[in-house]
Amino acid sequence: MESLRGQLLVAGPALLDPNFARSVVLIGDHDEEGALGVILNRPLPVTVHDAAPPLAGLVSVDDALFQGGPVQPQAAVVLAEFERLEDAGMIAFDSIGFLMGEVEQDVSARLRRARVFAGYAGWGPGQLEAELEEEGGWIVEPALPSDPFSDEPESLWSSVLRRKGGQYGLLATMPVDPSMN
């Protein structure tokens, strides 16, 4: 099994589960015990300041809380770009990873940028591998450092597919409701 850590899972047209339709998931960890990640393109209509005041100092005052996935939606997950890799609880790729547990003041001062998620996406042993075998389900693309912190998260699905090119570039133009085509 090849680890998908640091890869993006882009929902294909056959993925109809409302939790993941048109989603872009950054995989933070993947091994024989399963996988976990966060959905990067689902900002919620609430700020981190209002929803999770203890974490408000990690982000700009108006930054939205994001829906990270259907697992433990009341739990806060912090994805950050680190100045020092040893500050991360888990590195997904390059200098981007996850904070774990209590966030110490000196660590938060060394973050280049951060995003806060409500919940995460998780798969049990073999579950993600089985989903990847389903045609039209997940499309895998390497993550770029700009992806997790996109200024236009709602358009991330289309932009990653255009970047992948070929038939995926055409898929990027698919409307949310294909009957509107």
Q: What is the dihedral of CA 77, 79, 82, 84, to 10 degrees?
A: 40
Q: What is the pLDDT of residue 113?
A: 96
Domain boundaries, the chain: 7-180
Check residue 144 and report its DSSP letter: -
The span from the CA of 108 to the CA of 178, in Å, is 43
Check residue 126 and report its DSSP letter: T
- The average pLDDT across 40-44 equals 98
pTM value is 0.93
Q: What is the pLDDT of residue 13?
A: 85
- 89-98, 103-112, 143-152, 156-165: least confidently modelled range: 103-112
* Closest among 97, 70, 71 to 86, alpha carbons compared: 97
Q: Identify the residue whose tokens are 């091994």.
A: 31
CATH 3.30.110.40 at 7-180, yes or no: no
Residue 170 or 138, more confident: 138
What proportion of the chain, given as a percentage, has pLDDT over 90?
79
Q: How confident is the model over 107-157, as pLDDT tens digits?
A: 888 999 999 999 999 999 999 999 998 877 899 999 999 999 999 999 999
Q: What is the pLDDT of residue 171?
A: 82
**Mean pLDDT computed over every residue of the chain:** 92
Q: How confident is the model over 51-73, as pLDDT tens digits?
A: 999 999 999 999 999 999 999 99
Type of residue at 169? G
